[in-house]
Chains A and B, each alone.
Chain A
């Protein structure tokens, strides 16, 4: 069994020390995601805390046959962050210094080792993202990492709202076809 899955399952049985190990192993990645979504360190810390409390309470419902622990936890914590973003009275603006915005990773050829280590689903997702037009891919990735609305995307990309909506719609349609 995958180590993280085991730690999450033990957390579901009330094993606090396993939960601590799980936190040590996963919180750096999840915190980075929260910071990008919320663009505010204090809010990101709050969301991480609330998210892990939720993970502890729901860990018993985790089923390793349906998803990996990391995927399951990412979904919980990202939703928590999106909720917080929605509640925020004024949404933070996206700063320019976000180096992954024009993500070139999708055109990179991963090393065989990296390919082997990736889950099949993640590989498929990257392959499908690579098939999108650059502007579609950028919109989709920005939405994922920044939780931006159509309006905000249009503003940050300096494109008409209708254009951005169309890019996302077509991008998602294409992604859906590819992922299936």
Chain B
């Protein structure tokens, strides 16, 4: 057993395990030892976490729908997990409304393989500017080429004379906001996007929603009150 108490040996074994080169009987033996010895487990976990970002370097590939169907069936998730159904409604009462970090740790790595590659999904957590008491999630999907809004009921005010209007704020502050379209207070809110708009997401820093007066022609910049805003991050 002393062999495994020598850091030079056990660290090398932990790294080999984390990398995957420790295989066969040696791997099983090491797993048994890990169950017994906390320090072995801790070191191995640390190396596994260090290697994990390598997964972001390979091009992603959407699995067939049957995989989710099988997961959902096995876990008996049922209707609660219907695609993109609002998940805020059920947990709204205990959501701590805190700002999401704008940067996702795993975002940029894939860019190293090919700097022109974009991620498959962008996400923004939007909240009300002052009270920050309401929030909604915006997902921009490459696969379906759409922007989907996920919000609790009542997040958008129902006003006959005002239209909730979606804007993308470019990272370059010299460029004007892009008007994306309008939302309705009820029902599912999705917006189809074209290739150029998807490409442009890489240059967007924030999503915002303003209330624009119905009786005026659409403007190139928000004229009304901004009711939601949030930073866009790549996933």
Contact = CB atoms under 8 A, between A and B. Distances in A.
A20 B90 CA distance: 14
B121 to A, nearest CB: 6
A168 B21 CA distance: 9
A3 B112 contact: no
Contacts of B71: 23, 49, 52-53, 56
B23 interface: yes
Contacts of B74: 49, 53
A114 B106 contact: no
Contact of B123 (A3, A52, A74, A114): A3
Interface in B33-64: 45, 48-64
> A interface, by DSSP: helix, strand, loop or mixed?
helix
B20 A119 contact: no
Contacts of B112: 105, 108, 110, 114, 126
Interface residues of B, number: 73
A175 B50 CA distance: 11
Interface string A44-85: 110011001100100000000011101110110011001000
Interface of B: 11-12, 15-16, 19-21, 23-24, 27, 45, 48-64, 66-68, 70-72, 74-75, 77-78, 80-87, 90-91, 98, 100-101, 103-109, 111-113, 115, 120-121, 123, 125, 137, 139, 141, 150, 233-235
Interface of A: 1-4, 6, 10, 13, 15-21, 23-33, 35-36, 44-45, 48-49, 52-53, 56, 66-68, 70-72, 74-75, 78-79, 82, 86, 100, 103, 105, 108, 110-111, 113-119, 121-122, 125-126, 140-141, 143-145, 147-150, 153, 168-169, 172-173, 175-176, 179
12 contacts: A3-B125, A3-B235, A26-B235, A29-B55, A29-B58, A33-B55, A44-B63, A53-B71, A105-B112, A113-B108, A117-B108, A179-B50
